[in-house]
Structure 1
Amino acid sequence: MSPSTSSPTPLDGDHRDADTLRVGVIGLGYAGTTHLESFRSLPGIEVVALAGKERERLELLSAQHGIAHTYADGDELIARDDLDIVSIATPNVLHDRLAVTALEGGKHVFCEKPLAVTAEGAQAMIDAATRAGRVLDAAFNHRRRADVQWVADYLRTEGIGRIYHARASWKRRSGIPGLRSWFTSLELAGGGALIDLGPHVIDTLLHLLGEPRVRTVSAVTHGELGRAGYGAMDRVDQMTSGADFGVEDLAAALLRLEDGASVALEISWAGHTVDDEDISIELLGVDGGVRLFIPRYKGEDTIRVFRDRAGTALTLAPDVRVAGGEHPVVIAEFVETVRAQREGRPVRDEAEHHRRLLERVRIIDACYRSAAQGQEVVV
């Protein structure tokens, strides 16, 4: 028996407002809590159920947010027949199975990144969404930052000529999320730094580049610091044995795009470097360049534009300020897509959206295959 205050069937379905979307959230960590708070901040949304393995955390969140129905098992939450949306923020390896179950049960699904740990898992989710006619989306909130949107607009309106190379990275000095957490278990996470931070960097980069196809990948991975006991985000774990550290703390790759452009990608949880919590995307074009540099989630002075005017090198620093709150924005967009689908007024090309979701997973999947095989692989 799970610690549930309800059966899987609705207790209050007779009092439902037809316009209210009812949500169940699976996962109690930072991501799950962020999903929960973001859904609750939106009008016309009611979070009615919460699931997670940590009993004390489950009871705390349910009390704080007035959620009556709690479950230790995500499948029990999904079995409720009064839910419209299931939000998934569990260890990565569970994403595809839970999502497919929810989609086949007629629920729309919002999933934390990565969508799945393998391309096959992501494809199964997409196929289930297509068969059920339900909305499937992932928590790519970084592309909603105001500075990212400014760069996207600049590239669309001003342009920097043909972009022939890009450098993209997320680097931390001590950012391994627990040397003994599920994040560092290959069986539960499917990988380390690359599958944790990489989806955001890859999604933002592809968004800025206009969604090009990645043709081949040549990648390497290293887990030296984690195994040596360095780099933990929680200093209590620092300098302790990391023998059970089963994933990479650094991944680097060269991506070749179908249009001949290239991308140098580096993602790291830890390193004896000056980098602390630094996200960087640099685009090199024939007529100019743009660098987006975000140290420690900084919200201002993050953009530089490089141009050559009449033989003079110019550097522009636009005044763009990031207000934050990107998770509620991406979840609001998901909710609007659900409402539009229910009302028969689609707001996007679902097939193209699914292609983009799958592309992110396929790139990371290819990076891991390349690193394991020691050679370049086709995406």
Structure 2
Amino acid sequence: MSRKLRVAIIGGGQVAETVHASYYLTRNELDVVAVVDSHTERAQSLANRLGIPHAFSDAAEMYRQCQPDIVSVCTPNRFHHEHVLQALENGCHVMCEKPPAMTPEQAAEMRDAARLAGKVLAYDFHHRFACDTQFLRDQVVAGVLGEIYVTNAKALRRCGVPGWGVFTNKELQGGGPLIDIGIHMLDAAMYVLGFPAVKRVSAHAFQKLGNRKNSGQFGEWDPKTFTVEDALFATVEFHNGGILRLETSFALNIPQQSVMNVEFCGIEAGATLFPAHIYKDEAGQLVTLSQKETADNNRHFKSMQAFVDHVLGAPVSIADGEQGYLIQQLVAAIYLAAERGESVEL
């Protein structure tokens, strides 16, 4: 490579610092040149902490001065669409935080813009990059589980309403636990299954605790401005006859503090995702076919590594624009089904 690729980060919050900037700074092929945030002080503070030379409150000015090759979009969900399109228009490869956007139509436009520009667009669905997820995907392809006809995905917290950011603001976030944490286990499940075609979805959403309480494991919030669901339950039916059941919550009176996992039930065997565990029975005896002792927790950096390596030309898999669109389409259908109180066909 004749020169280092120049990187800019849009959004100066926690994930921008602890994941995106922190990873980019480990790569000798990259030069992190700018941070952009609508709050100038936050952009400058992050730049000062990490030794990044430029801080801006205006993205257009950043593009004029810095001309980056790679952009990370780490802004609230409502702004992903405009910031990704702006980056693509300026000739940049883009890593965007999840969810892709607020609507499937926006996600489709982002996918198409990346194709037209000939640039890489990836989303940080980092749980699919765990060794556990890759291992189970390989086992599914090899037929070890046989036909998978029931999948159970859970992203649950007992008292985990985020007390920072805009996670309780539907206008800026697009929803609650489904679009924040449930989408992660949904993506991991769909990835392992090979993205089977969806036939219909049904769902029920609840707002029972977040608008009554004001504090929990992750800080305090104003229940009067809590406008998202605090729990949601959905069933996804596939054209191949299988189903996926999704449970997700910020606040739900469950035994555990939190659950983030997926179970796959196949004809030949079953599996749990984190840590990867494949099991069956033989003549009534419980048999373990393979089992990891601990789950791979280095998922964020592996997601970032895959993106950068892909930009540099390596033949590695990423969560690309098309898969981002499919997940956004499924999330939108689930929310619509919950709102209508009836199944939604896809």
TM-score range, shorter chain: over 0.9
1 CA distance for matches of 2:228 and 2:113? Answer: 30
What displacement does 1:127 show? 1.4
Aligned-residue CA RMSD (Å)? 2.2
CA contact (8 A) 2:130 2:302 kept: no
Q: 1:266 aligns with which of 226, 247, 265?
A: 247
Gaps of 5+ in 2: none
What displacement does 1:88 show? 0.3
1:14 corresponds to: none
1:3 corresponds to: none
2:30 corresponds to: 45
| 1:209 counterpart = 2:193 | yes
Measured against aligned partners, the alpha-carbon deviations of 1:106-136 in whole angstroms (never above 9, x if no partner) come to 1111100001111011011111111111110
2 CA distance for matches of 1:235 and 1:91? Answer: 19
What displacement does 1:322 show? 4.0
| 1:115 counterpart = 2:89 | no
What displacement does 1:291 show? 1.8
Alignment of 1:156-167 (within 5 A): 156-157=141-142, 159-167=144-152
Give the share of equivalent positions with the same residue, in percent.
33
Gaps of 5+ in 1: 1-16, 294-301, 341-345
What displacement does 1:226 show? 0.7
2 CA distance for matches of 1:205 and 1:177? Answer: 24
2 CA distance for matches of 1:80 and 1:259? Answer: 52
Q: 1:347 aligns with which of 315, 319, 322?
A: 315
Alignment of 1:295-334 (within 5 A): 302-315=275-288, 318-322=291-295, 324-334=297-307
CA contact (8 A) 1:23 1:46 kept: yes
1:242 corresponds to: 223
Q: 2:155 aligns with which of 156, 170, 178?
A: 170
Query: SS where residue 227 of structure 1 aligns?
Result: coil
CA contact (8 A) 2:107 2:321 kept: no
- Between 1:260-269 and 1:221-230, the stretch displaced more is 221-230
CA contact (8 A) 2:182 2:248 kept: yes
Alignment of 1:11-50 (within 5 A): 18-33=2-17, 34-50=19-35
State how many pairs are aligned.
345
CA contact (8 A) 1:231 1:270 kept: no
- Between 1:280-289 and 1:313-322, the stretch displaced more is 313-322
Measured against aligned partners, the alpha-carbon deviations of 1:114-173 in whole angstroms (never above 9, x if no partner) come to 011110110111111111111100001111122222322333335111111111011111
What displacement does 1:81 show? 5.4
Provide runs of 4+ in structure 1 moved above 4 Å. none
Q: TM-score, normalised by structure 2?
A: 0.92
Query: SS where residue 182 of structure 1 aligns?
Result: coil
1:359 corresponds to: 326
CA contact (8 A) 1:214 1:255 kept: yes
* One-letter amino acid matched to 1:106: G
* One-letter amino acid matched to 2:8: G
Identify if the C-alpha distance between structure 1 residues 161 and 44 changes in structure 2 by more than 3 Å, giving closer, same or farther.
same
CA contact (8 A) 1:173 1:231 kept: no
Identify if the C-alpha distance between structure 1 residues 130 and 158 changes in structure 2 by more than 3 Å, giving closer, same or farther.
closer
Q: TM-score, normalised by structure 1?
A: 0.85
